[in-house]
Chains A and B, each alone.
Chain A
Amino acid sequence: MLERLYQFGQLAVDALITVLMLFVNLLPETLAEPFQYAFMQRALLTALVVGGICGMLSSFVILKRWSLLGDAISHAVLPGVAIAYLLGWPFFIGAFVTGALTSVGIGFIEHNTRIKADAAMGLMFTAAFAVGIVIISQIQTSTHLMHILFGNVLGVGPETLMLTLVAGVIALLAVLLFYKELFLYTFDSVQARTQGLNITVLHYGLILLLTMTIVASLETVGIVLVVAMLVTPGATAYLLVNSLPRMIWLGAAIGMLSAVVGLYLSFLFNVASGGAIVLVASAIFALALVFAPRQGLLRRWLSRSRIRLAD
């Protein structure tokens, strides 16, 4: 059964890469050349999926003001990764468990004490991260663990790619099929409640989706920087459009663009892929900040000087 699934996954990956290469081969030869290597093809597909789901969910992270929660979950996966490494388990199982446990712990402190959400997050995720650091310091230096801390999309294997694809499909289906629920919960959770929705299920559902996305992104951008991909694309889209569906798709597009351009630059200059991807995303944000048609600094400055002139 598992064997079958694996073969099916392999087939799906091969098919997707073939389609992707059709587009890549349309590019000028110097640009397309690195993608002749199998590891670059895997990296390209992984980067696209990771950039896409992070960008898609970043709209919800921005609008729910969950940036710190994203940072908290991403740090909280470290002990899980380390424990899974010690036990010889796949890293994503451990990562998912400690990430989810930490977000439940944050909710518990927030609802049962007078401590507010930001402090609850700050203390829970640093505690979890510290556990991870302590365990890692006992392990002989492992390149794999370093990759999870800082990301190395060029080293992504077929299994990780398959896993990332599954996470991508789940996240996409969740946003497409439950858009109405997610909108109500994000815009006005009291209104969601009056329409008979279960807020608790929605809350933890969205957190699980976020945790899954973070785990799927670990090898691409790394624990330390993954929160950037959950904030920057959505923040950029927020400056540019005025409807949630457009913000979601534009965020996804910006995430994918940053991931692909970052991947290419990381190969070209032989720098860490996570850093390169996040820098590209930040550069796109900076452009939007200056040139956005309504929210941009340039536009604000122009209209201010026009008003002054009219005086």
Chain B
Amino acid sequence: MSSVAQQETSNRAAIQVRDLFAAYGETVVLSRVNLDIQQGQLVTLVGPNGAGKSTLFKVLVGILQPVAGEVSVLAQSPGEARARGLIAYMPQEEQIDWDFPVSVHDVVMSARYGRMRSEGGWRRFLPPRLAGSDHRRAVREALRAVNMSEYADRPISALSGGQKKRTLLARSLAQDAAILLLDEPLAGVDRASEDLIMQVLHRVRDEGRTILTVTHDLISARTHADHVVLINHTVVGSGTRDEMLTDEMIARTAAARWVPGSARRLTPTQG
């Protein structure tokens, strides 16, 4: 895609963050974060463990209230965007109970529950088994996209690592969200699954959706991202991957433990 065409398709901000501070109790994890992410991009947040990448996701997803600052998602508050189903989130596998009695198909279908709940009248209360054809189609297409159609009826407890990842990705796809937040989408998967996942992500981006991924793995960031945001408690840099993933920028990211201008102590924490 030429840079002119890119500008035309991505002239609206997907995510805007202004002077964001986020903390767990007394420990400040994100300090004065400013970020602009355009629509239709595949953006990777890169930073060491504990840099606050997942914390930023938690703020966007709404499970952590920021201490200060403003976040807008497609020119709406994150709460409104969530209520409209505009944000899909793919957690890391550890956050899911894989012994839960549910099939692959039903996990993916659960991404449609938000939309089913906003249907009019009594349809709102229908069990998922009686979901409308549009929901069924979305689930079928998502499963096909990640090559999991033949495992649709399998209980999730019987999946391999790569299949688990693909199931969670299918769930994010089925939500039809404008923005996909993916936490370490390539961690722990084999080469074949990695290629498949990247293919899917590129296609989703080409549909005009925005993808934000998180990684501490420089190699995958180097090969896969359009746009890289270096983060270590604050945004160290933001630009194309060639601009950002230089030795100098990476060294600067690693050194950015303490940020002048923040009054609070900054300690590396889990996040």
Contact = CB atoms under 8 A, between A and B. Distances in A.
A311 interface: no
Highest count of chain B CB atoms <10 Å: which of A187, A197, A247: A187
A187 B89 contact: no
Interface string B54-80: 000000011100000000000000010
B125 A177 contact: yes
B96 interface: yes
B95 interface: yes
Interface stretch (B97-105, B215-223, B242-250): B97-105
Nearest to A179: B127
Q: Which of A186, A193, A242, A245 has the most CB of B within 10 A?
A: A242
Given A180-B116, A190-B63, A242 B155 contact: yes
Interface string A229-256: 0000000001001111111000000000
B62 A184 contact: no
A66 interface: no
B159 interface: no
B188 interface: no
A191 B89 contact: yes
Given A190-B91, A193-B63, A195-B111, 13 more contacts: A180-B117, A181-B117, A183-B128, A184-B113, A188-B95, A188-B96, A191-B111, A193-B62, A194-B82, A195-B113, A196-B84, A242-B103, A242-B155
16 contacts: A179-B128, A180-B113, A180-B116, A181-B117, A183-B110, A184-B110, A190-B95, A191-B171, A195-B85, A195-B117, A196-B82, A197-B117, A242-B103, A243-B103, A244-B100, A244-B106
A225 B120 CA distance: 43
B36 to A, nearest CB: 22
Contact of B113 (A183, A193, A244, A247): A183
A187 B102 contact: yes
Interface of B: 61-63, 79, 82-85, 87-89, 91, 95-97, 100-103, 106-107, 110-111, 113-114, 116-117, 125, 127-129, 155, 157, 171, 175
Contacts of B125: 176-178
A119 interface: no
A63 interface: yes
A178 B204 CA distance: 32
A176 B79 CA distance: 27
Contacts of A191: 89, 91, 110-111, 171
A190 B102 contact: no
Contacts of A177: 125
Contacts of A186: 100
A63 B97 contact: yes
A179 B131 CA distance: 13
A238 B97 CA distance: 14
A246 to B, nearest CB: 8
Contact of A63 (B83, B100, B107): B100
Given A194-B88, A196-B85, A187 B113 contact: no
A178 B96 CA distance: 21
Contacts of B63: 190, 193
Contacts of A196: 79, 82-85, 114
Given A63-B100, A190-B61, A244-B102, A195 B128 contact: no
Nearest to B80: A196
A247 B106 CA distance: 14
A192 to B, nearest CB: 8
A188 B94 CA distance: 11
Contact of A193 (B82, B102, B116, B128): B82
Contacts of B82: 193-196
B89 A190 contact: yes
A64 B3 CA distance: 50
A246 B102 CA distance: 10
A180 to B, nearest CB: 4
B100 A197 contact: no
A247 to B, nearest CB: 5
A184 B112 CA distance: 11
Interface string A185-219: 01110110111110000000000000000000000
B101 A194 contact: no
Given A241-B101, A244-B101, A197 B114 contact: yes
Contacts of B127: 176, 179-180, 245
Contacts of A184: 110, 113
A247 B101 contact: yes
Contact of B62 (A63, A194, A238, A247): A194
B58 to A, nearest CB: 9
B113 A188 contact: no
A272 B84 CA distance: 54
